[in-house]
Structure 1
Amino acid sequence: MEIDYSSRISIRPFKVTDVDDFMSWAGDDQVTRFLRWKTFTSKEEALTFIKDICIPHPWRRSICVDDHCSISFISVFPGLGNDRCRADMGYALATKHWGQGITTKAVKIALSQVFKDLPDLVRLQGFVDVENKASQRVLEKTGFQKEGLPRKYCHIKGKITDLLAYSFLSTDSTSIE
């Protein structure tokens, strides 16, 4: 039986105390399959990553249920200089929560916040592996527009892969259902 988490989902900055929850999903090869970073193998490695990467990151959030359980992440990587009008979005989710609409809800929450938090941002873009159908559905359900297929665009886990390009503009609707 699936549990309806949709009304209990939030995003917040990472905390050092998220390390055990972080390891439960970041140590899972299924979760990190389409991520550019490797699967974590130790709590110490995860703690260093949270302290040095997640906490100081300009816009990386923990996806939570009831704001006490970090079940994954959503990140926005703002461009610099002349590229500050655009940013890249990435996310993942613990396997035990797949198929429940949690990532879709988290992306909608992020959309309602990120354009306020990053005032120069006009374009948010997501690049998704052509094999990652679930992530494609998340972006489509949250209002991202599919723009095309950059071929041999990215190196992930030892393979150069094609990615689908999606975008969401600050002028697009950000209503949260």
Structure 2
Amino acid sequence: MDSSQISLRPFKLSDVDDFLKWAGDDRVTRYLRWNTITSREEALTFLEKVAIPHPWRRSICLDDRSVGYISIRRESGDDQCRAHIGYALATDYWGQGIVTIALKMAVSRVFKEFPDLVRIEALVEVENKGSQRVLEKVGFLREGLLRKYGFCKGEIRDMFIYSFLVTDMNDDAHKLCP
């Protein structure tokens, strides 16, 4: 995939139809805490009330069309040195390296935008092998298994915890963007 075609930008209401295509796919939302979006009206409401006002939720765009998202949520107070990352991508684009490129862009930007941020964490269900591979390609390190840790879609599930530290950006093995 040509990285020049991939961009990250805030969501817009005009993304509604593209958003509905991927957010309405059960395969995309399987490991997300939010449910599959089932109508254009629901998609508009989600964009207006959740995606757009979120402090750092970006649309992954391919030639400026929304094909997924990355969300980074910082902790508050004394824990604002830490943030959580989540993401999803339309199934038509799985396996093409798009999320890997987008995550590298996001991690690099977030560490620049928030100079007091030192750690980004990702929680990944044990069964979600694709997401584990993506995180490892970006340079996230698997720190361990959290048993019966995450509640998703009515179940408490085992999760792997991954991390990326700001110091990893300077490590040759974890170089992000040229």
- TM tier relative to shorter chain: over 0.9
Matched, 1:6 2:3: yes
Cα deviation, residue 5, structure 1: 4.0
Consecutive unaligned residues of structure 1, counting only runs of 5 or more, are: none
Consecutive unaligned residues of structure 2, counting only runs of 5 or more, are: 170-174
Cα deviation, residue 83, structure 1: 1.0
The residue number in structure 1 matching 2:172 is none
Q: Distance in 2 between matches of 1:120 and 1:24?
A: 36
The residue number in structure 1 matching 2:176 is 175
Runs (4 or more) in structure 1 with deviation over 6 Å come to none
After TM superposition, the score normalised by the length of structure 1 is 0.95
Q: Per the alignment, in what secondary structure is the counterpart of residue 68 of structure 2?
A: strand
Q: Distance in 1 between matches of 2:176 and 2:147?
A: 32
Cα deviations by residue, 1:80-120 (Å, 9 ceiling, x for unpaired): 01110100000000000000000000000001100112222
After TM superposition, the score normalised by the length of structure 2 is 0.94
Matched, 1:41 2:38: yes
Q: Per the alignment, in what secondary structure is the counterpart of residue 121 of structure 2?
A: strand
Q: Is the 8 A contact 1:5 1:65 kept in 2?
A: no
Identity %: 61
Q: Is the 8 A contact 2:105 2:176 kept in 1?
A: no
* Bigger proportion of residues as helix: 2
Matched, 1:128 2:129: no
Cα deviations by residue, 1:107-137 (Å, 9 ceiling, x for unpaired): 0000110011222211000000000000001
Q: Distance in 1 between matches of 2:150 and 2:142?
A: 17
Matched, 1:57 2:58: no
Cα deviations by residue, 1:29-81 (Å, 9 ceiling, x for unpaired): 00000001000011111111111111111100000012x20001000010001
The within-5 A match list for 1:104-143 is: 104-143=100-139
